[in-house]
Structure 1
Amino acid sequence: MSIDDVAVMRPGGPVDRSRMFVASGALGVAILLVVVQVVASTQGFQGPLESLFHDYVLTPKSASVPWAGLALAMVGLTNRHRVVALSAAAGIDVVVAAARYLSGGPLTVGNGATWVLTAVGVYAAVRWTGDQRRGALQGVGLGALLILATKFGDAWLQVTIMAGPMVLDEYAQLADHALGSPSWHLGQFVDALGPVGYGILHWVYIELPVAAIAVAVYQLRNGWPSHYLVRTFLLIGLVGPVFYVLFPVVGPIFAFGTEGQGFQVSDYWPNLVPTPDFAPEPMSFDSVTPRNCMPSLHTAWALALFIHSRQGAWWLRLGGTFWLVCTLTATLGFGYHYGVDLVAGAVLCLTIESALRDPERGWGWFRVRLVGGGALVLAGLLLSYRYLAVPMGRFPEVSGPLVLGALAAISLGFYATFFARPDTALARWGSGAKAAVTDVLAAPTR
């Protein structure tokens, strides 16, 4: 027996620590879901556990998310088990959907995927052993975490409303003047596309999780790599919504357009680009519109999808580019976000991706400077949007290039560190700092 075997078997060894970490994480998720459900029940909106109950026995809130979770679970199964699981889920969905529709309910799916995902997890835990059991439970856990994350996110949107009765859209719009008010111009562009163009953009916008699953399944087709898209997606969904409470914003179509329910400043989005108002104030808003603009998580997720598609087949790279372009166009063109939201979302994505990518390289100065720099840039952007909106609006020829330059600097550092061609000056700059630090640490003391 080797020393490594003893370390694994010894109490407190790597396997024990891994199990403790998983158990602690599962307990933390369970407690968080219960807490949010209690808040939801007392405040009168649907909580995550109630929504999950609907996925099992009533009408699922989403038809695609349960199937996306089941698709992730398939990664840990053999082909024979995949065929059985997917066939069972499809059959259950057809029967349940037909019964629901015939009884006067909506025609949708998702129950079968939820049932089968749960059944696979239970069966693997009870009947399988070794690598088969470990792989199956890892896939089921990942799929379940995706579903639970969406449930938590839906409930968190209600929390943003309770936490932010006053919104900061006048500040965001004034800061956005530094970028040329792109939402207004893209809104006019989307209007000119007509119903077909709008329909395509809307489908791309709402089905971003489906595209993400396609990329993730491609990455996981041969096993579990050290890093894959779902990890970034989940961490963006965990970290990003915190900023909704710190910087509550509802978006142009609500604050300056027709969807404001009487709380809007005026109805001039997107046809009339507003004249800058150099006396912005927090404005009260309704109790139904989520404050989920700053930063743009759709931008962060679409950029993560684009980044992870770069190392795939040509059709995956093409799909990643298409989804990114369409998502950015829809995000602005539908009036859901300001341009400054998109910049913040892109910086958030690059910062989180820098922390997760290439974990085998460890944590050196190459990674610290990216993550630390990204966090500082994101904090600087949000503080500037709030407290320097007036000078940003007065001097767009200065503030605009500074905002875009900050994003460009983070993007260049990220590309140089993780994507530059080896043995080029850019690649050496991206990782040279790490090597220099390593050499210093390895040098003998005098």
Structure 2
Amino acid sequence: MYAGMALMMVVLTWRQRFIALGIAVCIDIPFFLGRWAVDSKLTFGNGALWVMLGCAVIALTRRTGRERTLLLKGVGLGLLLVAGRKTGDAWLLITAKTRPTVLDQYVATADHALGNPSWVVGRLVAATGPTGIRLLDFVYVQLAVAAVVVALYQLRRVSVERRFPRHHLVRTFLVIGLLGPGIYMIFPVVGPIFAYGTGSEHWTNPDLWPSTPPTAQWAVADLWPDTPPSISTPQAFPFDEVTPRNCMPSLHTAWATAIFIHSRKGPRILRYAGTFWLLATLGATLGFGYHYGVDIIAGVVFTLTIEAGLRTLDRGWDRSGVRFTAYGATVFTALLLSYRFLPVEMGKNPWLFGPLLLLAMGSVIYGYVRTMKLWEPKATLIRQREPESQPELV
């Protein structure tokens, strides 16, 4: 809630921001004390929500023209972040309830082409001990906060210029969250720690998932992260109605990639933070057993295609952008089809399909970078006229 309010406050002056934050905290304190008195779960956010709704009322009743539009856009941006989070949680539940079988055997077989990276990184993460595990878990859970930090930097001049930039991270973030669950419904996958491990019970030592129900009885076998599954004819198998089918593609990888892209134009510390968050997210998604390696490749292609599509829309459907967006969508579709219909061939021929997968992802990365460079404004060199020599005065 407070992250959403922070996005909303980019349209306010500094004085208005302090007033809004103070009101939100004052509203939350009684709620906090009430929950603490009845020994309930201590959460914050009521004050931030009330402040955002109050700003919407002020925009409708006390503002006119461009100022009203700007304030409503700010409120809408903050509420979209909150609504996107709740909608995502609802979609995860829908995938678990409506997809009784999962396709993990297909993905795990295809993952042999990459050397089963989830199994390798899983052992490395376990070797770091509780400290390393908690650090990666913090990075994984606080991904939205990192996105808000980058977005606040991009939107830092809205209160001065009184307009939003043409494109920013929040747009990409929301579109990824909007389209991703649709792929979950087509390609339901629960992840290696659930399909080939003990699920939440595996991380009971650092106590990462204290309230997650056990899923070991639904697993194909207890193999993760010590023993990769053998290559055999894959088939769909049933799973519980609680665990989300949220692996293909890896949306955490997609969001971390978007943060990395949008932090490139920031100061050095922001660029370093974006790089760290991407690498740490990759380590967490693989090391915690949430995703397979082929999920990561699909997530990167997914993000670059969406990012290019949004920028192409802003540029009036530029031809080069349309071509690249179509290419990215084609590669993404080809990846999903190969995971579904060619997993055995991919697993048995890793020296062929492993480089092909990396080449497909690399081609999309190269195409994206090349297209973005074509759109960068050309620096024009203005030659200064040299002073004309004056004849000497005699």
* TM-score normalised by the chain length of structure 2: 0.88
For the pair 1:129 / 2:64, whether they are aligned, the reply is yes
* Residues 67-82 of structure 1 mapped to structure 2, 5 A cutoff: 67-82=2-17
Residue of 101, 120, 133 corresponding to 2:36 = 101
Contact 2:312 2:322 in 1 (8 A): no
1:148 matched to which residue of 2? 83
1:242 matched to which residue of 2? 182
* Closer, same or farther: CA 91–166 of 1 in aligned 2, 3 Å: same
Question: Could you tell me which amino acid in structure 2 is paired with residue 253 of structure 1?
Answer: I
Distance 1:190 1:334 in 2: 8
1:356 matched to which residue of 2? 310
State the Cα deviation string for residues 296-317 of structure 1 (Å, max 9, x = none).
0000000000000000011110
Residue of 262, 266, 284 corresponding to 1:330 = 284
* Residues 297-308 of structure 1 mapped to structure 2, 5 A cutoff: 297-308=251-262
Distance 1:364 1:82 in 2: 38
2:346 matched to which residue of 1? 392
1:111 matched to which residue of 2? 46
Distance 1:143 1:328 in 2: 27
* TM-score normalised by the chain length of structure 1: 0.78
Q: Flag structure 1 segments of 5+ consecutive residues without an equivalent.
A: 1-65, 425-446
1:309 matched to which residue of 2? 263
Question: Could you tell me which amino acid in structure 1 is paired with residue 283 of structure 2?
Answer: T
Distance 2:75 2:291 in 1: 34
Contact 2:197 2:216 in 1 (8 A): no
Distance 1:193 1:166 in 2: 34
Query: How far did residue 266 of structure 1 move?
Result: 0.8
Secondary structure of the residue aligned to 1:240 is: helix
Residue of 364, 376, 382 corresponding to 1:410 = 364
Contact 2:312 2:318 in 1 (8 A): no
Contact 1:205 1:327 in 2 (8 A): yes
* Residues 199-278 of structure 1 mapped to structure 2, 5 A cutoff: 199-223=134-158, 224-259=164-199, 260-276=215-231, 278=232
Query: How far did residue 171 of structure 1 move?
Result: 0.3
Secondary structure of the residue aligned to 2:218 is: coil
Distance 1:376 1:358 in 2: 17
Query: How far did residue 361 of structure 1 move?
Result: 3.3
State the Cα deviation string for residues 67-106 of structure 1 (Å, max 9, x = none).
1110110011122211110111122222211221111112
Distance 1:194 1:419 in 2: 43
Runs of 4+ in 1 over 3 A off after TM superposition: 358-361, 419-424
Question: Could you tell me which amino acid in structure 2 is paired with residue 202 of structure 1?
Answer: D
State the Cα deviation string for residues 130-184 of structure 1 (Å, max 9, x = none).
2322211100001111111111111111111122111000000000110100000
State the Cα deviation string for residues 19-64 of structure 1 (Å, max 9, x = none).
xxxxxxxxxxxxxxxxxxxxxxxxxxxxxxxxxxxxxxxxxxxxxx
Q: Tell me the number of residue pairs that the alignment of Structure 1 and Structure 2 aligns.
A: 358
1:379 matched to which residue of 2? 333
State the Cα deviation string for residues 320-358 of structure 1 (Å, max 9, x = none).
011000001000000000000111111110000001126
1:35 matched to which residue of 2? none
Query: How far did residue 114 of structure 1 move?
Result: 1.0
Distance 1:421 1:161 in 2: 42
Contact 1:261 1:286 in 2 (8 A): no
1:34 matched to which residue of 2? none
Contact 1:172 1:389 in 2 (8 A): yes
Contact 2:106 2:340 in 1 (8 A): yes
Question: Could you tell me which amino acid in structure 2 is paired with residue 331 of structure 1?
Answer: T
Question: Could you tell me which amino acid in structure 2 is paired with residue 268 of structure 1?
Answer: L
Contact 2:95 2:185 in 1 (8 A): yes
Contact 1:160 1:291 in 2 (8 A): yes
Distance 2:272 2:311 in 1: 22
Q: Flag structure 2 segments of 5+ consecutive residues without an equivalent.
A: 159-163, 200-214, 379-394
Contact 1:227 1:358 in 2 (8 A): no
2:74 matched to which residue of 1? 139
Using the aligned pairs only, state the percent identity.
Answer: 53
* Closer, same or farther: CA 248–421 of 1 in aligned 2, 3 Å: closer
Question: Could you tell me which amino acid in structure 1 is paired with residue 193 of structure 2?
Answer: I
